[in-house]
Structure 1
Amino acid sequence: MTYQFDKSLPLKKNISAIAAEEIEGCFISLDTLNIHEAIHDIRKRFKKLRALARLVRDEMGEENYKEINIYFRDLGREISDLRDLTAHIETLNVLRERYGNHLYVNFFNPIITQLEKERDKMENEFRSQNFFSEYLPEKLKHAQEDLIKWPVNSNDIQVILPSIQRVYERGQKALNNSYENPTTENFHEWRKRVKYLWYQTLLLQETWPQFFETMEAEIHLLADYLGNDHDLMVLQKKLNSEDIKLKDPQHLELMQAIIERYSQFLRSEAKTKGQLIYAESSEDFTKRIGSYTQINWN
């Protein structure tokens, strides 16, 4: 089962099956992928689980929702520093591909080398604590046994509509905040809201595949713009820290200029895409989604 509802199944069955599959996917990643790929995949699955819980938040109740959301949020944070180092390296490779022809050959190498050494050291620390072999599997097993029996009793697909409206409305507000006050924090907040909406459209694709596949692709592209921009900002913060040592101050200045240039491009693209996606009121958007689900589910 992929990360989407099967409209031939009751809503409650969909929720439990998808939650179980995402947890099982975490175990498979630990067993089959290299540790950095596994961490990335597991963190994405945690976000999907949180988005799934958010979708039925009103049905399961606030206390149950918070327990699930906080559990996977905090567990994801425990591996976020290691993931960030890999993301820094990936971002530098993107910048090298985009701007490398205008720079000397080894421009990015000193930074990547330092990040790889720091990542190796951190990975070894995790392994010395049996984090990947014992601690994380135990936490996943607890989630598998106790945290995916979600109290969702209604099989009426319409129970998801309050969450859809909240997510869309908060995304609109975050879009406006980002360009009225373009801080890293505001863009990161908008990115989170966009990803929630993206996950919701993934789950609803069977409602009307041709429509939702197109909408999902557009929201996914917006999420990528904002995700890449966020990676740039986190990398910029890392470069300004004492962790990275560069002999030539101009090296850092040029890195900052490259980051700013690419960030401006991404934010410009995101603005146009965002304005299109958030063009209608949250009430109208929710009513439209509700009509589609009413026609094709009930």
Structure 2
Amino acid sequence: MPFRIRPDRSFTAEFRKAVGGQLRDAIHTLEEMPDGKHEAIHDFRKNLKRVRSLYRLVAEEIPEIQEQENGRLREVAQSLSAMRDAAALIETAAHLKAKARNGEEKKALGRIIEALKARRDHMAEAEATIDQKLTKVPDHLKAAAAAVEDVHFNGGPQRHARLVAKGWRKTALKAREAIAQCRNGESAEAFHTLRKRAQDYRAYHAALRPLWPAAMDAKYEVTSSLVDLLGRIHDLDVLCELVEAEPRHFSNADDLAYLLDAIIFHQQEGRQAALERAEEVFADDPREEADRIELLWQAQVS
């Protein structure tokens, strides 16, 4: 089902349809697993991120429901995150290998990949409850789908336009704050915060596409490129954390040295590229941009 909210229709109905559609897609993906277990988990988590983004957009109007559903969906996603994260780390190491700066680094990263695969396989054997968890998740998602039917927005189009504009402005302001923090200290947490706000921002461009399709599509694409850059940075951070937390998986000290050197090099390169892209994505003043969203909304309902 299209992830859209049309301003010329009932806001309550459109919100319920957008959220419910994502949750039904997530349920279908987990029950059918058309591309296998790991891809199903990956896809369902993307559905949940979109839902959580929409709830954040309207949090001012329904704070208690937003807090409840954000907590529910975060917990559900985290319950299945370990195996998907293990696979993502292998993909990250493979990306480093593809960009290896010399033959020795490439060979070392090849051995690192094998170590990460062994870790993933061991986790799969040890995680005896993964299938049991998978069978329970659809019930949690059905409860979330039922909860959205309790969501109701008072007032008319003018009020809804202001609500959406406020949520948009808040996200853009938080993104600008995260960019400043990244430039000041370049901490992993600041870049992770920027990634989450960029994901929200991208979701808003998808959901509110009917306001101005051409402009929303263009901004969606450039924001997606930022999310991808920040995602790779996050994966490098997670891989670095794994090395520190579970060094037993990497017995060859020389290989580990090559890995850490590659991580640092690509972190620095990636962070600079991400900040340049973020400045492009969030170049507009958040207040002025939110005002435009409100005007566009009003124009379609007047």
> Under a length normalisation based on structure 1, what TM-score does the superposition of the two structures give?
0.91
Task: Report the Cα distance in structure 1 between the residues aligned to 2:122 and 2:301, rounded to whole angstroms.
Answer: 51
Task: Report the Cα distance in structure 2 between the residues aligned to 1:131 and 1:82, rounded to whole angstroms.
Answer: 14
Deviation at 1:86, TM superposition (A): 1.2
Deviation at 1:124, TM superposition (A): 4.3
In structure 2, the CA distance between the partners of 1:33 and 1:6, relative to structure 1 (3 Å rule), is: farther
Deviation per CA, 1:259-290: give whole Å up to 9, x if none: 11211221111111212222233211211222
Alignment match, 1:25: 25
Task: Report the Cα distance in structure 1 between the residues aligned to 2:119 and 2:154, rounded to whole angstroms.
Answer: 48
Q: Which amino acid aligns with 2:11?
A: L
Alignment match, 1:42: 44
Greater shift in the superposed pair: 234-243 or 92-101: 92-101
Alignment match, 1:290: 294
Computed over aligned residues only, the root mean square deviation of the Cα atoms, in angstroms, reads 2.2
Task: Report the Cα distance in structure 2 between the residues aligned to 1:64 and 1:70, rounded to whole angstroms.
Answer: 10
Instruction: Summarize the alignment of residues 1-298 of structure 1 with structure 2, pairs less than 5 Å apart.
Output: 1-7=1-7, 9-30=9-30, 31=32, 32-60=34-62, 62-99=63-100, 102-103=103-104, 106-128=107-129, 130-154=131-155, 156=157, 157-158=160-161, 159-298=163-302
Determine helix, strand or coil for the equivalent of 1:260: helix
Confirm or deny: 8 A CA contact 1:4 1:204 kept in the other structure: yes
Deviation at 1:15, TM superposition (A): 0.9
Greater shift in the superposed pair: 186-195 or 275-284: 275-284
Confirm or deny: 8 A CA contact 2:97 2:109 kept in the other structure: yes
Give the gaps of 5 or more residues in structure 2: none
Determine helix, strand or coil for the equivalent of 1:57: coil
> Under a length normalisation based on structure 2, what TM-score does the superposition of the two structures give?
0.90
Q: Which amino acid aligns with 1:108?
A: L
Determine helix, strand or coil for the equivalent of 1:178: helix
Greater shift in the superposed pair: 207-216 or 270-279: 270-279
Confirm or deny: 8 A CA contact 2:105 2:258 kept in the other structure: no
Task: Report the Cα distance in structure 1 between the residues aligned to 2:155 and 2:119, rounded to whole angstroms.
Answer: 49
Confirm or deny: 8 A CA contact 1:57 1:163 kept in the other structure: yes
Q: Which amino acid aligns with 2:20?
A: A
Confirm or deny: 8 A CA contact 1:126 1:132 kept in the other structure: no
Task: Report the Cα distance in structure 2 between the residues aligned to 1:40 and 1:174, rounded to whole angstroms.
Answer: 26
Identical columns (%): 23
Confirm or deny: 8 A CA contact 2:97 2:110 kept in the other structure: no
In structure 2, the CA distance between the partners of 1:226 and 1:75, relative to structure 1 (3 Å rule), is: same
Confirm or deny: 8 A CA contact 1:59 1:154 kept in the other structure: no
In structure 2, the CA distance between the partners of 1:35 and 1:294, relative to structure 1 (3 Å rule), is: same
Confirm or deny: 8 A CA contact 2:8 2:300 kept in the other structure: no
In structure 2, the CA distance between the partners of 1:152 and 1:243, relative to structure 1 (3 Å rule), is: farther
Q: Which amino acid aligns with 2:240?
A: Q
Confirm or deny: 8 A CA contact 2:97 2:105 kept in the other structure: no
Give the gaps of 5 or more residues in structure 1: none
